[in-house]
Structures are given as structure tokens and as C-alpha cells.
Amino acid sequence: MPRFFVRKEQLSDDGIIRILGDDAHHIARSLRMAAGESITVCDMQRMEYRCELVGFENDKVVLARVLDARQMNTEPPFVAHLYQALPKGDKMDTVIQKAVECGVASIVPFESERCVVRCKPEQEDKKTERRQRIATEAAKQCGRGSIPDVVPTCRFSDVLQRASAVDIPIFCYEGEGTVPLRQLLQQRRAQLAKDAVPTVSIVVGSEGGFSQAEAEAAQKAGFLMAGLGRRILRTETAAAFVLGALVYEFEL
């Protein structure tokens, strides 16, 4: 069944949902759906509605009537924010898609010392819009209850400030002085309240990893220096690997 996301204000008191913009066009023109057909709608607040199409005002407004509603259980029991150093080529597309499937809450691209790709301010709006579309499509495909945010590219110094203020700040590093990820997660979980929903930051470097100076700055900022096993992972693999470990530790 086709799946769409709406804001809470698009749901009226009489049980009619107004689906707008590109989603409405997709229903009317791409899917060629008609009144009486069913769709699934999520309200970004973990509620899912089974709906029947009842009207097409134009290509940009479709009306659907709520048939029944239920609380969703597809969001993970943690809130994870991914900070991904800019990779080469189209690897960021893969990172976003797989991270969304694995339950990430937001994705923040950033520049580090060893990034080959650099942020171009004049292209940033278009890139962010495109990355958000990838996240949205991935959220629809895998049955998420909300759409993760993809924000514009920031600096490494911003990452150190923003990503450290969480319950589990993970800095993925292949150098010396790391602690195995499994051990870090178990230690931090033991410190949390029983019913707590932990907040997590995952910081992943580009193809060349992090410089020693960056690793030292991260450790000084309070990050947990995490080792990801005996094999060196590609940058497009690391985030999904860590998120998978989080799912195993907190959800499965």
C-alpha cells in the first residue's frame, strides 16, 4: 500500500487528511489512483492511518478519509544523529539511504581535514534538498514513522560542539586508544535509567579517516573513541554498521 507523510495540521477534526504538493501529484498522476483506493498516511508523530481516497481537488491537493488509526512501533528505542564527513562521488546517497533504514533520526554532513570533497556554498541548498528527498523515499520504503532530517554541511568544530551533548557520543576511529563498540554500548546502557530513550551521536570520517589532531580534539570534547572491529570499514559502511549495533543492543 502506498505510504505518505503529512504534518499534524493536515488532519482535520472530521477525519479528512489533505495531501499536498508532490505527494498529491504522485498519487494523481504517477500512481493514477482513484477515489475509493487505499493508502497509508503517517503524521510524523508515530501515528499511522489507513485511509481511503475521497477527492482530487487538483494535481496538488488530494483528500483522504481516515478509516482507522494505530500507534506505530517502527521507530527505534533510541534517538541517533549521524555526523558524516563528506565522501567522494555518490556515496552520501548510500549513507543516507541505509542510515534511514537502520533508524537514524537526523543526518549532518560535515567537512574534515581529509575530505577530498568540499562544500560549495552556491550548491548547498540543492544538495541538501536532494539528500532530504533520498531520506524521505527511504523512510517511505522501510515503513518509518517519521522522516529523518538532513541538514546543510557544517564544519568539524561545529560537530564537536553539537554532537557531544548526548548520552552516547560515538567517534568512529581506527587508530590507537579506542574501546570496542560493544563494550562502550554495554557500559553506557548500564548507566541509563531502565526506561530511558538514549540519545546517540555517531561521527564518521571520510575515506581517509580522521587526523590525529581531530581524534584528540574529539576525545577532549568528551567523545567515546569507538573501535569497529578488526577490519577497516569503508566510510559508506560505518554508519549502518554502528546503527545495526545500536539496534541489536537496544531493540532486538
Tell me the pLDDT tens digit for each residue of 13-35.
999 999 999 999 999 989 999 99
Do 25 and 90 share a domain, yes or no?
Answer: no
Q: Which of 36, 71, 106 is the last residue of a domain?
A: 71
Based on the fold, state whether residues 17 and 115 are members of the same structural domain: no
Same domain, 64 and 102: no
Please tell me whether residues 36 and 93 are part of one structural domain.
no
Q: pLDDT-based confidence at 45, cuts 50/70/90? A: confident
The model's confidence at residue 89, banded by pLDDT at 50, 70 and 90, is very high
Which residue, 21, 48, 71, sits at the end of a domain? 71
Does residue 49 sit in the same domain as residue 137? no
Residues 91 and 215 in one domain: yes
Look up the domain containing 131 and give its range. Answer: 79-250
- Do 91 and 58 reside in the same domain of the chain? no
Question: What's the CA gap between 175 and 50, in Å, rounded?
Answer: 50
Burial of 32 (0-12, 13-18, 19+ CB in 10 A): exposed
| Domain CATH number, residue 14 | 2.40.240.20
Q: 177 with 66, same domain?
A: no
**The last residue of a domain, from among 18, 50, 71:** 71
Number of domains composing the chain = 2
161-206 pLDDT tens trace: 999 999 999 999 998 899 999 999 999 999 999 889 999 999 999 9
| Domain identity same for 62 and 100 | no
109 shares its domain with 15: no
SS3 assignment for the chain = CCEEECCHHHECCCCEEEEEHHHHHHHHHHCCCCCCCEEEEECCCCEEEEEEEEEEEECCEEEEEEEEEEECCCCCCCEEEEEEECCCCCHHHHHHHHHHHCCCCEEEEEECCCCCCCCCHHHHHHHHHHHHHHHHHHHHHHCCCCCCEECCCEEHHHHHHHHCCCCEEEEECCCCCCEEHHHHHHHHHHHCCCCCCCEEEEEECCCCCCCHHHHHHHHHCCCEEEECCCCCCCHHHHHHHHHHHHHHHHCC
Residues 140 and 40 in one domain: no
